[in-house]
């Protein structure tokens, strides 16, 4: 047998052995001759539970929570201009009276340090009858809104003062007392944009004559609990009627984590301040704001 015949016989023998082997294992597929890639780590995990959200700022996939991005989406359809803020004596970043701005910044820092992590509720109530108390409470809320990593909600619980509409750029209707007295109202229906970024407001409502009973109701407690649970970066400011003149303030203190007294210039003595702090009888007292 010459070399060519020997070579062809060897090839035929190898082909025959391969066919027999394939018959025993089953028919081989062409792709079996290629190495299969190992799946990448985590490929068998469940898909993430978030969905893509369309916003006016493009698409944002929720990776690491960024409070400044989320809070920037809070609606403010009628923002006040700097001139309008100045006319209403509302604080704003870059205002000419730096001492006033710094005073509110310091107050914000002290309250936040005392509160620790998470959101909290601070009640502001005046020890006098100064008409500027609501403005002080509003500016306290604005001081938190000026921080891009937090927001504020002013809940006006003084149904005897109607000055809030002059500080807010959006017409308001129903408020706290209406919500508590009417279970058909939703929380969304009583929250309004203020005209200041990251600051929302809830007016006191129209039912002033029954405010004491309404503030004592279970639905009032449910309202405050829900407001605190909605946003982890929100500071809630409760504006209460004057502490020494009304029962409402003593009822509302139960909903506050901290309490700040307003001291109108020339109206309150040191003895009145000391007596009021003693009457409060609570470790919630956080300090005083002296009002001009």
Domain membership flag for residue 207: yes
Domain membership flag for residue 28: no
What are the Cα distances from residue 257, in Å, to 118, 165, 218, 286, 290? 12, 27, 18, 9, 21
| Nearest residue to 71 via CA among 193, 234, 195, 227 | 234
Q: List pLDDT tens digits, range 15-70.
A: 665 665 555 545 444 444 433 333 333 334 444 444 444 444 444 444 444 555 55
Domain membership flag for residue 34: no
* Stated pTM of the model: 0.75
Domain membership flag for residue 27: no
Given this model, what pLDDT does residue 116 score?
Answer: 84
How far apart, in whole angstroms, are the C-alpha atoms of residue 267 and residue 242? 13
Domain membership flag for residue 57: no
How far apart, in whole angstroms, are the C-alpha atoms of residue 271 and residue 289? 16
Domain membership flag for residue 37: no
Residue 232 belongs to a domain with what CATH number?
3.40.50.300
Query: What is the tally of structural domains in the chain?
Result: 1
Domain membership flag for residue 29: no
Torsion-angle region of 266 (φ positive above 0: left; ψ -120 to 50: alpha; else: beta): left
What percent of the chain has pLDDT above 90? Answer: 58
* Token representation of residue 283: 């470790």
Domain membership flag for residue 279: yes
The alpha-carbon radius of gyration of the chain (Å, integer) is: 33
* pLDDT score of 198 more than 80: yes
Q: How big is the CA angle at 204 (ends 172 and 165), to the nearest 5 degrees?
A: 40
Domain encompassing residue 118: 69-291
Q: What is the per-residue DSSP string for 204-258? A: --S--TTHHHHHTSHHHHHHHHHHHHH-TTEEEEEEPSPTTT-SHHHHHGGG-SE
| Nearest residue to 260 via CA among 120, 146, 151, 160 | 120
């Amino acid at each position: 047998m010459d070399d060519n015949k020997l070579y062809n016989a060897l090839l035929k023998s190898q082909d025959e052995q391969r066919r027999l082997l394939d018959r025993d294992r089953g028919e081989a597929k062409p792709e079996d001759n290629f190495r299969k890639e190992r799946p990448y780590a985590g490929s068998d995990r469940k898909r993430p539970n978030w969905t893509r959200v369309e916003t006016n700022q493009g698409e944002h996939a929720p990776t690491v929570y960024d409070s400044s991005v989320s809070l920037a989406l809070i609606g403010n359809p009628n923002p006040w201009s700097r001139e309008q803020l100045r006319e209403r004596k509302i604080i704003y970043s870059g205002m000419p009276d730096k001492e006033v701005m710094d005073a509110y910044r310091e107050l914000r820092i002290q309250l936040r340090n005392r509160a620790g992590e998470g959101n909290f509720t601070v009640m502001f109530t005046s020890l006098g009858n100064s008409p500027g108390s609501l403005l002080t409470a509003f500016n306290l809320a604005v001081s938190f809104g000026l921080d891009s990593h937090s927001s504020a909600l002013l809940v006006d619980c003084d149904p005897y003062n109607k000055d809030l509409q002059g500080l807010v750029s959006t017409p308001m209707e129903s408020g706290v007392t209406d919500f508590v007295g009417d279970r058909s109202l939703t929380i969304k229906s009583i929250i309004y944009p203020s005209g200041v970024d990251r600051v929302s407001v809830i007016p006191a409502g129209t039912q002033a004559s029954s405010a004491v009973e309404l503030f004592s109701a279970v639905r009032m407690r449910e309202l405050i609990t829900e407001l605190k649970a909605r946003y982890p970066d929100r500071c809630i400011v409760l504006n209460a009627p004057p502490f020494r003149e009304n029962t409402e303030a003593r009822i509302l203190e139960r909903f506050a984590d901290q309490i700040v007294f307003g001291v109108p210039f020339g109206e309150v003595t040191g003895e009145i301040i000391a007596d009021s702090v003693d009457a409060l009888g609570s470790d919630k007292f956080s300090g005083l704001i002296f009002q001009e």
